[in-house]
Structure 1
């Protein structure tokens, strides 16, 4: 992102990013994810030294199964004046957003009203808040892509002239740095959900399965394995191929434990402590 040189505030201020994302989920209502973030590099900025690009790696949403259809996106970059009233509100809403998490829909849902109402409260303080640039759009995605929103008049810049500097990801127009304020968003396709082991219902079901296998009681372990299987196949956070592979890995672990001798012996190692130990995506 880049913040324009001309400022509305003569004192120090914070940069704030707001995002609201909605997308379809198999077997469930449309999911909604919201976040308000105050990246460290955008905190307490000096208005005299803003004519530069600020690179912020801030994940708005973790990897989720894409079911197709429309991705609703609201994205805004704000300047928030550092005053006694605004700073505590911004800090509070940011903490609430962080507590909600960004990868699991069920975890963020209880926090949505606090985040959206907090944003309304912040944005309503027009003397202390200025919007830099924003986007409200429904997107149909077919591939990974970058989206740039620029604070300039329509037609001022030809999209074909805009490129992304590979070194620092600033926007270039005909090879030269863009002088207007802007924000760049990356939407990436990935075949892996790296945080699969942290999906709450799966992590809990696996812990029970692991403990029952350690107890050596086959019947109890079989029941726990079935409960884990159900949790995996009903999870909207996994793609179908990952579900099949994860179920197969748990079946393999069950058979290893109960056909290879007592746990703790020379031939049989105990089951992995976490779901990550099953290595859904290979060696890592």
Structure 2
């Protein structure tokens, strides 16, 4: 989209806009980096890990911290997928100059699990400080709500919201006396493994990146083992084997609802048509990797057979799990056989983009 690249040239708060980009930071035992990212075998997620603000001093008043993300990913047989998000983290709300020595640890999701098809990742990431005021504060709230409505994980759902998000950010950042870019990045990345990265508000070549590490306790950026006293944003690009929010994919949720209604009506012909429609929706979905598509179709087919088939019900694991939960919603199909775990790896899903 290149919106951020043009904006950097217009409203940067320092003489140089060629900030230092550290494409790989050593993982201090967080288990994030160096996991293989393979086309059609996994999802990728983007998290902001920690932040330090510095340029906001020029605003000389209370301000909001705003994070903007835009990502472009390849799609097989289709145009590239585009995702965008704007967030106003609670920890960056209504700060003032007395807060600027603090490192803000967030470790929060900016892009949910999206299938990795290979190719390159186009990435724009910007950290802004925006003066609190009658004009910009409501606009920030509006753009943040639009971003949340668009979602950070569903390719088809976010597309209509992309112009509103970027136009809203253009209005915010265009108020040059009331907003400032702390750090920003506009790049294309080839991915073969997950990684921890950083953008540092120092001109390229002005810092020895080999001396940069992360504090494992709060993910602050260190240089020679001491806290770095510059503005920065640490973020991660993570591999995920599972899509925790698969049950909320809009078109699949609707197709499964139709299937569930047909089964409840005890209409075999209608339910078979609904199952075929659900299968088509899953196959053409841009939000799932092939293995998860196959698994979801198998689960729905087993549910249909168990509900409307004749003879004894099979007692295999898939059928038992389905009958135990009743499958009133798509998420009840328990795609990863993790009933009661709260999500993949036993963790709560963070696909809402909430900070």
TM-score of the aligned structures, taking structure 2 as reference length: 0.75
CA distance in 1, matches of 2:202, 2:292: 44
Indicate whether 1:33 and 2:88 are aligned.
Answer: no
CA distance in 2, matches of 1:203, 1:153: 48
Say yes or no: does 1:89 pair with 2:144: no
CA drift at 1:27: 2.3
Query: What is the alpha-carbon distance in structure 1 between the residues aligned to residue 324 and residue 264 of structure 2?
Result: 10
Q: Which residue of 1 aligns with 2:39?
A: none
Pick from 21, 25, 36 the counterpart of residue 71 of structure 2: 21
Query: How many angstroms apart in 1 are the aligned matches of 2:146 and 2:56?
Result: 31
Instruction: Tell me the residue number matched to 1:281.
Output: 336
Matches of residues 200-239 of structure 1 in structure 2 within 5 Å? 200-239=250-289
**Rg larger for:** 1
Look up the SS of the partner of 2:79 in the other structure.
strand
Deviation of 1:51 (Å) = 0.4
Q: Which residue of 1 aligns with 2:352?
A: none
Q: Distance in 2 between matches of 1:5 and 1:109?
A: 32
- More deviation in 5-14 or 106-115? 5-14
Counterpart CA distance in 2 for 1:21 and 1:5 is 25
**1:15 match: secondary structure:** strand
Deviation at 1:50, TM superposition (A): 1.7
Distance 1:231 1:6, change over 3 A: closer
Q: 1: distance between equivalents of 2:168 and 2:104?
A: 25
Counterpart for residue 12 of structure 1: 62
Output the CA distance in 1 between the equivalents of 2:127 and 2:209: 21
Indicate the residue corresponding to 1:108 in structure 2: 158
Contact kept, 8 Å, 1:19 with 1:35, in 2: the verdict is yes
What are the superposed Cα offsets for residues 164-201 of structure 1, whole Å, 9 maximum, x if unpaired? 11111111111111111100111001111111111111
SS in 2 for 1:230: helix
Partner secondary structure for residue 131 of structure 1:
strand
Q: How many residues get paired?
A: 281
Identify the match of residue 197 of structure 1 among 247, 250, 267: 247
Question: What is the CA–CA distance in structure 2 between the aligned matches of 1:30 and 1:270, rounded to whole Å?
Answer: 37
Deviation at 1:270, TM superposition (A): 8.2
Secondary structure, counterpart of 1:231 in structure 2: helix
Aligned match of 1:150: 200
Normalised TM-score (structure 1): 0.93
SS of 1:118 mapped into structure 2: helix
- 1:253, 1:271 within 8 Å by CA — same for their partners in 2? no
CA displacement at 1:28 relative to structure 2: 1.6
Once the two structures are TM-superposed, the CA of residue 209 in structure 1 deviates from its matched residue by 0.7
1:44-63 deviations in Å (ceiling 9; x for gaps): 10212320110123322111
Moved over 6 A (4+): 267-270
Give, in whole Å, the separation in 2 of the partners of 1:11 and 1:187: 34
Q: Is 1:166 the counterpart of 2:216 in the alignment?
A: yes
Cα distance in 2 between the residues matched to 1:93 and 1:236: 25
SS in 2 for 1:56: strand
Residues of 1 paired with 2:83 and 2:68: CA distance? 11
Structure 2, gaps ≥5 residues long: 1-50, 313-319, 340-355
Q: Which moved more, 1:155-164 or 1:14-23?
A: 155-164
* Pairing 1:246–2:301 present: no
The CA distance in 2 between the partners of 1:279 and 1:99, in whole Å, is 25
